[in-house]
Structure 1
């Protein structure tokens, strides 16, 4: 895990908080469906220990499977689940229905995340494209590399 608990650069401080509708309607609907075992385009519930409370924190995420690996990408930036995952030293669970799988996460260096971000945007651009400053799946590598530090990427493996 890369240490990022205290953001020191503008990229590490980047976070676009969800609005009322996303927090209170969309995320809750996706979470409810995922808890019922219905995955929307790879949705899962991420459960990670809170860095301050120590209590489990849950949030809907998109699980990307790319080149035989599993990834979590933070489209909104360095938010709470990212900070909690770093503090939990990469220990997490993904939930779907009654299924609960433990994983270990390793954060990728932003320079190494270009192909993963491109695959993520190819799959979910309609849902998350607004968070990527006009960069899309067909953008040149240098454009994706430019925004990569603002969007943490974790490769996850079953624990």
Structure 2
């Protein structure tokens, strides 16, 4: 089922003002999907590339655990997950599930997750872009670690950030 665009919502509910189109999400192409599958497989078998891990989160409709490779990011002692591609399926699942698991080899860590409001994302996004920019800059529409605070804050709404707390 697709998300209706702004024109569809305006026609269906003319009394409700439409302030934006569908949330930002950049779907990966075939090469990216294959690369992510390989990175996830490596993490599942104990080989973490620069700190990558395989995240499992319960699907909001299927109820099955969905797996995706992620780059857990530490800022001021707290771990975060940043969705460089935007409001992806794992983000939507995380909002419902409230947590999941991170795996590197046999080490599985359960965690709870709290989504940060846009106003709190600036330092996390800046340090995330400093570390992972070489991999994710293309998803940030020209925003980099060297961008101004205002530019990063303007992009913050397109990139969900979760603070995670390991529970086991």
| TM-score normalised by the chain length of structure 1 | 0.91
Match of 1:128 in 2: 136
Q: Is the 8 A contact 1:105 1:156 kept in 2?
A: yes
Q: Aligned partners of 2:138, 2:116: CA distance in 1, in Å?
A: 22
**Counterpart position of 1:31:** 40
Aligned partner (choices 31, 37, 57) of residue 66 of structure 2: 57
Aligned to 1:107: 115
Question: 1:36-65, CA deviations, whole angstroms, 9 ceiling, x for partnerless residues?
Answer: 111111101110100000000000000101
Find the aligned partners of 2:21 and 2:91 in 1 and give their Cα distance: 13
Q: Which residue of 1 aligns with 2:23?
A: 13
Equivalent residues, number: 150
Question: Structure 2 CA distance, aligned partners of 1:12 and 1:127?
Answer: 25
Cα displacement (A) at 1:19: 0.3
Q: Secondary structure at the match of 1:105?
A: strand
Larger Rg: 2
Partner of residue 77 from structure 2, selected from 68, 89, 100: 68
Consecutive unaligned residues of structure 1, counting only runs of 5 or more, are 1-7
Q: 2:103 aligns with which of 95, 110, 113?
A: 95
TM-score, L = length of structure 2: 0.86
Could you say what the CA RMSD is over the residues aligned between the two structures, in angstroms? 1.4
The answer for the alignment partner of 2:157 in structure 1 is 149
For 1:65 and 1:12, locate their aligned partners in 2 and report how far apart those are by CA, in whole Å.
30
- Is contact 1:11–1:149 with CA below 8 Å preserved after alignment? no
Cα distance between partner residues in 1 of 2:21 and 2:139: 13
Shift of 1:10: 4.0
Listed as ranges, the gaps of 5+ residues in structure 2 are: 1-17
Point out 4+ residue stretches in structure 1 off by more than 6 angstroms. Answer: none
Per the alignment, residue 79 of structure 1 pairs with 88
